Copies of this chain bind each other. A is one copy, B any other.
């Protein structure tokens, strides 16, 4: 079915089926009546649900920039979420993580992690939802068409920092739970929440808390659901069974702390920017191939069955390219594109701190510059080996330059990749719920991004972890004009409600 047609048909179908008390999807019958009533309630309260998102987006809960003001906003954000969970009837434990000392010596408070519980019926499955309420930095002047912290709706799109990453999906889960409460229906599952505020800055303190609560908060948990990534398309839902890791590096080149005037010193200095540009230029070639010796040694070889899986994925490359607003990708085939996003490493240069970055023409020789780049890791690369390879490579390149400057390479984040077992029961429940809401099978995909919590949960708790994204591919997470479609947010709330029912049924 044409995806556009499918989107139009679905709500009509749902409404008709609701009236008849009949089946809600072409392939998977939900419990008669209840799911329909849940969905109708969600539809009738759409604007309230959007208003709730607006309130959360209004909080500048940016965890990336290490500023006391922003940490206060983060703390306020966690307080708002805590209040909303308590209003649902959940018991909430706001776990204090204390403070964080930054490399520059600054000490900043960490936002608490919320551990919340709703129901403890031993006959029901227990599903824990992980989400985060911190966001990437956003400045209006970076090219936002509306204020990033004022939720703005245009053509069915809800624009604002954090709408899709990850405030919208967290609220959708809360909306699903809240709808059962509003209709005075017993929740078919026990629900737990783990909500953090440092995901965009390396999830400080999270892994330790998961380990600590392994036999506490997490002891009765059967399933863990994360909704912190995107579909592969603008219209077709997806289920995600793997993510790449990330090794984030800084390379500092220093001549002296002060900058120089390029007229007064240009021509006699080993200029730090010249060194840094050469170092950054040695990392990756114009075809995207990483030039660090040994970096591909630990990458899994591609198996025949894996190739077949990639071939089965329904991706309109032209549509994808168009919605990404990219003239041309590095590769021409669907399989190559997906493999390079999901199962091969990539290296991106993010920027330079300490150089001239403002409009205008400043004639400065920066005295000390800090380059930033990161490598997305795939099975079975590991951060320790990658750190060593990167440092050796950069030190080798630098030493060949005979520069009098000082260089320092540092891996500031090292997050492992993750792959799940897609035969777990909750994957089946999610597929059924997706069919109910969207009338289609999901794409079974990986995600090129890093959601370290997935691997932490799987490694630490040995529980089934599933990623069930709500956002569309063009949501622009981490970018200017981030948005979530009103439809994805509302249907996503319905999807989670359906998932609870399906999971309860399958769990018996």
A interface residues (Cβ-Cβ under 8 A, vs B): 64-66, 104, 136-137, 142-143, 201-202, 230, 243-244, 246, 248, 255-271, 273-275, 277-278, 280-281, 284, 286, 288, 324-331, 337, 340-341, 344-353, 355-367, 372, 374, 376, 401-405, 412-413, 447-450, 476-481
Known contacts A281-B281, A286-B278; decide if A266 and B346 are in contact (CB<8 Å): yes
Q: How far is the CA of A273 from the CA of B478 in the complex (A)?
A: 17
CA–CA, A258 to B143, complex, Å?
7
Assembly CA distance A143 to B259 (angstroms): 10
Residue from B65, B142, B269, B365 within 8 A of A360 (CB atoms)? B65
- In the bound complex, how far is the Cα of B104 from the Cα of A246, in angstroms? 36
B residues within 8 A CB of A364? 136, 348, 350-351, 478-479
Nearest-Cβ distance from residue A191 to partner chain B, whole angstroms: 28
A263 touches which of B246, B255, B350 (Cβ 8 Å): B246
Residue in contact with A357 in the complex, picked from B255, B268, B352, B374, CB distance below 8 Å: B352
Determine how close the nearest CB of chain B comes to the CB of A445; give it in whole angstroms: 12
Instruction: Decide: B201 and A326 in contact? CB cutoff 8 A.
Output: no
For A64, give its contact among B244, B328, B345, B360 (CB under 8 Å): B360
CA distance A481 to B259 in the complex (A): 10
Alpha-carbon gap, A255 to B327, bound state (A): 8
Q: Select from chain B the residue with minimum beta-carbon distance to A320.
A: B268
Residue from B65, B259, B288, B479 in contact with A480 in the complex, judged by beta carbons closer than 8 Å? B259
A282 and chain B: residue at smallest CB distance: B281
Q: How far is the CA of A339 from the CA of B261 in the complex (A)?
A: 17
Complex partner residue of A267 from B256, B281, B340, CB under 8 angstroms:
B340
Query: Of A104, A258, A266, A353, which is in contact with the most chain B CB atoms at under 10 Å from its CB?
Result: A266
Task: Say whether A349 contacts B277, CB under 8 Å.
Answer: yes
B358 contacts A363, C-beta separation under 8 Å: no
The residues of B that contact A337 with a CB separation of less than 8 Å are: 268
Q: A351-B357, A362-B136, A376-B263 are in contact. Are A256 and B325 (CB under 8 A)?
A: yes
Query: Considering only CB atoms, which chain B residue lies closest to A352 in the complex?
Result: B352
CB nearest neighbor in B for A449: B263
CB nearest to A480 among chain B residues: B258
What is the bound-complex CA distance between A373 and B265, given in angstroms? 14
Say yes or no: A361-B412 contact (C-beta < 8 A), given A268-B340, A286-B278, A288-B267: yes
Residues of B within 8 A of A348 (CB): 262, 266, 271, 273-274, 363-365
CA distance A224 to B298 in the complex (A): 69
- Pull 23 A–B residue pairs with CB atoms less than 8 Å apart, ordered by A: A64-B358, A64-B360, A65-B359, A230-B264, A256-B326, A258-B481, A262-B478, A264-B341, A264-B477, A266-B341, A267-B346, A267-B376, A268-B337, A269-B326, A270-B330, A271-B348, A275-B286, A278-B281, A286-B403, A350-B366, A351-B356, A352-B352, A362-B372
